[in-house]
Amino acid sequence: MRLTRSLGPAVPTDPVPLFTALAASLSVLRRREVRVLFLRFPPETVSGIWADRVD
C-alpha cells in the first residue's frame, strides 16, 4: 500500500507513533494538515471519527 510504504523501512508498531506517522504522510498526500486526536470512548461504542471537511 502506498501510504504505508511512504512511512519508510521501519514502520512503527506502537499506536501513537504509527498514527502520527500516518497523519504526516497523509498531510503530504492531501496537501493539507491531517491531525490525529486520541480520545477515549466508552466500551461498545464508536471506535473512531472521520471528519473530512471541504474548506
pLDDT in tens, 29-52: 989 999 888 888 788 887 766 777
Residue 3, pLDDT above cutoff 70 = no
Q: Is the dihedral of CA 30, 33, 36, 37 positive or negative?
A: negative
Q: Is the dihedral of CA 20, 21, 25, 31 positive or negative?
A: positive
pTM of the model: 0.57
Comparing 37 with 7, the larger pLDDT belongs to 37
Give the pLDDT band of residue 5 (cuts 50, 70, 90).
Answer: low
Q: What are the residue ranges spanned by the domains of the chain?
A: 1-49
pLDDT at position 12 is: 66
Residue 24, pLDDT above cutoff 70 = yes
